[in-house]
A = this chain, B = another copy of it.
Amino acid sequence: MERRTESKLEPIILPPPKLDHGGSLAEALRARRTVRAFSDRALPEQILSDLLWAACGINRRNGPFGVAGRTAASASNSQEVVVYVALREGAYFYDAAAHRLEPVAKGDLRRFGLSARQGAGGADAPVRLIYVADIGKLEHTAGFDEPGLHDFEVQQSYYYVDTGLIAANVYLFAASQNLAAWFHNCDRAALSQKLGLSDRQRPLFAQTVGYPEGAAP
């Protein structure tokens, strides 16, 4: 793998997820917690690969509605919440089908994954996941007409829940690997602009992952 930070930002071809390590689900649930203080140590490629696969990777070819299935459920398998990854050298889109990171923007956008209230929390953590809703993938829900809810409220309810479904997987994966993880607000306006998103794509929240501060390398 090359990450040519001095010139063009290159795709990151992730190694296949390694699934034969790690403890039990029960142990991960027992260890699940939010940790907000991070080391700046980078995650090894294999851990980044495993993390993204655990988050919302493809776990079977034949999922509902004719689409590959994911580790995280989504409304009618619409997979409308996508994950961007801000690393020190740049921001990438996680292409789950190819299990690779496609370059989106060169440079360090990690700070925009924090909202004003968060201050500089976890500013040096190596990985910031950014959850973005792609409203276009929820068009089939128009007219679902849940009593008392407008279409846009139905869509919001779906994409926020679906964000949580991914974020919980991240929390459990982090717990299983003794990594720190923290789900938090982000600077939505800045991320929309920096990631070049359309008005149908909405940054929602972010989740920071790294080694806990003070952990032995």
Interface residues of A (CB under 8 A from B): 19-34, 53-54, 57, 59-60, 63-64, 69-73, 77, 115-117, 144, 146-148, 156-157, 160-169, 171-173, 176, 183, 185, 188-189, 204-205
Bound CA–CA A26/B51 (angstroms): 11
Contact B189 A148 (CB under 8 A): yes
Please indicate the chain B residues that have their CB under 8 angstroms from the CB of A117 in the complex: 144
Please tell me which one of the listed residues B25, B72, B146, B161 contacts residue A176 in the complex, with CB atoms under 8 A apart.
B25
Q: Name the distance in Å between A97's Cβ and chain B's nearest Cβ.
A: 17
User: Bound complex: CA of A156 vs CA of B157, how far in Å?
Assistant: 8
Residues of B within 8 A of A31 (CB): 59
Is B173's CB under 8 angstroms from A63's CB? no
**B contact residues around A188 at 8 Å (CB):** 146-148
With contacts A19-B26, A160-B161, A165-B165 known, what are 10 further pairs, Cβ within 8 A? Answer: A23-B25, A30-B71, A32-B73, A73-B167, A148-B189, A157-B204, A160-B160, A166-B168, A168-B168, A168-B169
Please give, as numbers and ranges, the residues of chain B lying within 8 Å of A60 by CB-CB distance: 33
Pair A167/B169 contact, Cβ less than 8 Å = no
Question: Using Cβ atoms and an 8 Å threshold, which residues of chain B touch A162?
Answer: 164
Q: What are the residues of chain B within 8 A of A189 when measuring CB–CB? A: 147-148
**Is the CB–CB distance between B163 and A59 below 8 Å?**
no
Residue of B nearest to A54 (CB): B29
CA gap between A178 and B22 in the complex, in Å: 20
Evaluate contact between A146 and B29: CB separation under 8 angstroms.
no
The 6 A-B residue pairs whose C-beta atoms are closest, nearest first, are A164-B164, A160-B160, A168-B168, A161-B164, A19-B26, A164-B165
**Residue from A29, A34, A204 with most neighbouring chain B CB atoms (10 Å):** A29
Q: A168 CA to B25 CA in the complex, in Å?
A: 12
Contact B32–A26 (Cβ < 8 Å): no
Closest-CB distance, A147 to chain B (whole angstroms): 6
